Structures are given as structure tokens and as C-alpha cells.
């Protein structure tokens, strides 16, 4: 079964929680997650962020729940890397 190894998200979030708290919450979903969060724009009430998550099997649905719970919204999936497992011909 194919698994997501890397995903880049465009996220709109409130100022609070801050970037460190959001990235930490996402990283806590799996022991092997590596999360990079870059704030790309700031306005009066919100921040836009590029969020990169890498791991052996990145769970988009769980990440979406964490971001939503913290007041954010995923605007788009900008990059995704998926690795498939070879099919055994026998």
C-alpha cells in the first residue's frame, strides 16, 4: 500500500497558537514526524504558513484535525510525495 512520505500544506492560522505550538502539535502525532513551519504572510488576525511534514506514513486526516482544533484551515496541498510498495507477482 502506498504511503505519504512528505506533504507541503498552505495553512491559514490565527496568531495564537504560535508557529512553534502548531508545529509541535503536528509533530507529536507520530514519533518519526519532522515538521517545518514557515510563516509566509501576516495580517491583523491571521497568519499564512507553509507547513512541511515528513515521515514514514504521514497521516493527512490526523494533521487536518490537529490544525482545525488549533483554529487553522488547510487552504491547499501544494506538494505531496508518495512511495508505493512493490506488488508481489506471486
Distance CA 66, CA 53 (A): 13
Determine whether domain 3-83 maps to CATH 3.30.70.1340. Answer: yes
Q: What is the pLDDT of residues 43-86, one digit of tens each?
A: 999 999 999 999 999 999 999 999 999 999 999 999 999 998 76
Mapping DSSP to helix (H, G, I), strand (E, B) and coil, where does residue 61 land?
A: helix
- Can you give the pTM of this predicted structure? 0.91
Question: Which contacts qualify for 40-46: CB closer than 8 Å, 24 or more apart?
Answer: 42/15, 45/14, 45/15, 46/12, 46/13, 46/14, 46/15
Distance CA 29, CA 6 (A): 14
Average pLDDT over residues 24-49: 98
Contact 2, 60 (CB under 8 A): no
Mean pLDDT of the chain: 95
Q: For position 1, what pLDDT does the model report?
A: 81
Distance CA 19, CA 13 (A): 9
Amino acid at each position: 500500500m502506498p504511503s505519504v512520505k512528505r506533504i507541503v500544506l498552505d495553512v491559514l492560522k490565527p496568531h495564537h497558537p504560535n508557529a512553534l505550538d502548531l508545529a509541535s502539535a503536528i509533530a507529536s502525532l507520530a514519533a518519526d514526524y519532522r515538521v517545518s513551519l514557515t510563516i509566509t504572510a501576516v495580517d491583523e488576525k491571521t497568519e499564512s504558513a507553509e507547513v512541511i511534514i515528513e515521515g514514514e506514513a504521514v497521516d493527512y486526516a490526523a494533521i487536518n484535525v490537529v490544525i482545525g482544533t488549533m483554529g487553522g484551515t488547510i487552504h491547499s496541498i501544494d506538494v505531496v510525495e508518495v512511495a508505493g510498495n512493490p506488488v508481489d507477482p506471486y
